[in-house]
Structure 1
Amino acid sequence: MQEEGVIKFDLRFSAGEAVALETFRELNTWRSRLWQLALIGQDPERYLGYGFGNVSQRLDTAVNDGNMTPFLISGTQTGGLPELDAAHYALVTACDVMQNRVEARGPVQPSSESLTHGMVYAQSGDIRVVLHVHSPDIWLAADRLGLPFTDAAVEYGTPAMALEVDRLFRETDVMEQKIFSMGGHEDGVVAFGATAAAAGAVLTETLSRCRNIN
């Protein structure tokens, strides 16, 4: 079993103030819904007891001389909390996949899946929200559902996973489906969209489809 929620990249982190909750209230509301659905959470019987699941939203303000649009992401090991506030989110200001490096600031360190989120955002400016959840139902049925999925040999939170995500966007219809399964990350599923509501709807609709074929 892989460790869940452990940061594997070189993190350059600076403590700082939280971004105002008004900036991402819809995302935070959806994060609470996903927790209620047990798609985000923490369970001593699963994943060695680590928290699981994370959400993010791209911001509009450019940083680092305009080289990257930053994104807010829920903090590492916040999965077990039923509700989050602004103090539970970090601002990722740079992702370098090849150097396995993430730069971030805020009141909490960013999720261990920050590299994966960054790679999804790099695919299109139309992608504004990324939701990473854990759904045994969707994960086990991914092939029958026709979902794109990453190589089972590739671990979460690594440059290889980020490159696998890039491959999916080049070689599959993931941009149309707006959801994929992480083959080497037990129960891991990622949905994305222009808004939190759009990405959340993809997840809930896929759950419904999954239950209909089981």
Structure 2
Amino acid sequence: MNPSAEGVIKFHLEHTQAPALSGEETSMLRGWFRLLRRLDLLGRHPDRYLGYAYGNISQRHGDGFIISGTQTSGRDSLDADHFARVTGFDINANRLQSQGPCPPSSEAMTHGAVYQALPEAGAVFHVHSPDIWRQAKTLGLPETDAAIEYGTPEMAEAVIALLRDNPARVFSMGGHEDGIVAWGSTPENAGLSLVQVLAKALQLSINPALMS
């Protein structure tokens, strides 16, 4: 991972300023944001990732998806103004279109790749968990190639290939330090899958023999 690039948008973004979505449309994501923030799976720390905020969450919305805005994960909570709606993206051209009060997360292309690969995916959570990431192989999680950086067309293509071969609900981003992605048909399903894997990782840290 190149830590100096954390939080930097690497795709060509065409963003249009527009009013925020309704509170009802973002309420499930905002609720899960608070929980993931308390679990330190989203956040911002001066001694991690050069002080950049980490993690982002999204939900399918019509022909596109809603996603938390760039560098918003250091907040204790989000409101409707902290989300963008991705209306289109082209992985090969490395382009993404969005609208809303703020630009989308730098990981928006990866979220789009999950939705493209899995029509059944209704929500995607990208978090940072050293506990899960360091034990991904022991936990049996599929991983993207460690040479592939986040936010690039190569990462999006790798995610699509990985999920088509193994549509696991949680996978590791091998080249993105501590990066873990969970998906589900709803935000609740994505969140529960993620928390279950985190619990297993924490149990392993206490008793490695659990996986023997």
Length-normalised TM-score, structure 1:
0.93
> Which segment drifts farther, 132-141 or 162-171?
162-171
- Residues of 1 paired with 2:87 and 2:28: CA distance? 21
Equivalent residue number for residue 8 of structure 2: 6
1:211 Cα shift? Answer: 1.3
Aligned residue number for residue 168 of structure 1: 162
**Counterpart check, 1:17 vs 2:4:** no
Q: Secondary structure at the match of 2:78?
A: coil
**Within-5 A mapping of 1:148-187:** 148-171=142-165, 173=166, 175=167, 177-187=168-178
CA distance in 2, matches of 1:9, 1:134: 21
Partner of 1:66: none
AA aligned to 2:118 is S
Q: Does 1:209 align with 2:187?
A: no
One-letter code aligned to 2:203: N
2:37 maps to 1:35: yes
TM-fit CA distance, 1:35:
0.5
Distance 2:94 2:53 in 1: 22
One-letter amino acid matched to 1:115: M
Inter-partner Cα distance in structure 2 for 1:38 and 1:170: 30
Question: Within 2, Cα distance between the matches of 1:135 and 1:71?
Answer: 24
Query: What SS class does the counterpart of residue 52 from structure 1 fall into?
Result: coil
Amino acid aligned to 1:8: K
* Structure 1: unaligned runs, 5 residues or longer: 61-68
User: 1:90 corresponds to which residue?
Assistant: 84
Q: Which runs of 5+ in 2 are unaligned?
A: 206-212
Matches of 2:187 and 2:179, distance apart in 1:
18
1:47 has 2:41 as partner? no
Name 2:120's counterpart in structure 1: 126
C-alpha RMSD over aligned residues = 0.9
CA contact (8 A) 2:88 2:96 kept: yes
Distance, in Å, in 2 between the alignment partners of 1:169 and 1:54 is: 19
Structure 1 segments, 4+ long, off by >6 Å, are: none
SS at match of 1:41: coil
What is the CA deviation profile of residues 95-121 of structure 1, one whole-angstrom value per residue up to 9, with x for unaligned ones? 100000010010000000010000100
Aligned-partner Cα distance in 2 for 1:110–1:213: 35
2:192 matches 1:192? no
What is the one-letter code of the residue matched to 2:143? F
In 1, distance between residues paired with 2:123 and 2:53?
20
Residue identity over aligned pairs, in percent, reads 49
Instruction: Specify the alignment match of 1:65 in structure 2.
Output: none
Q: Give the TM-score, by structure 2 length.
A: 0.94
State the Cα distance separating 1:167 from its structure 2 match. Answer: 1.2
CA distance in 2, matches of 1:49, 1:80: 10
Pair 1:138 & 2:132 matched: yes
Q: CA deviation at 1:125?
A: 2.2
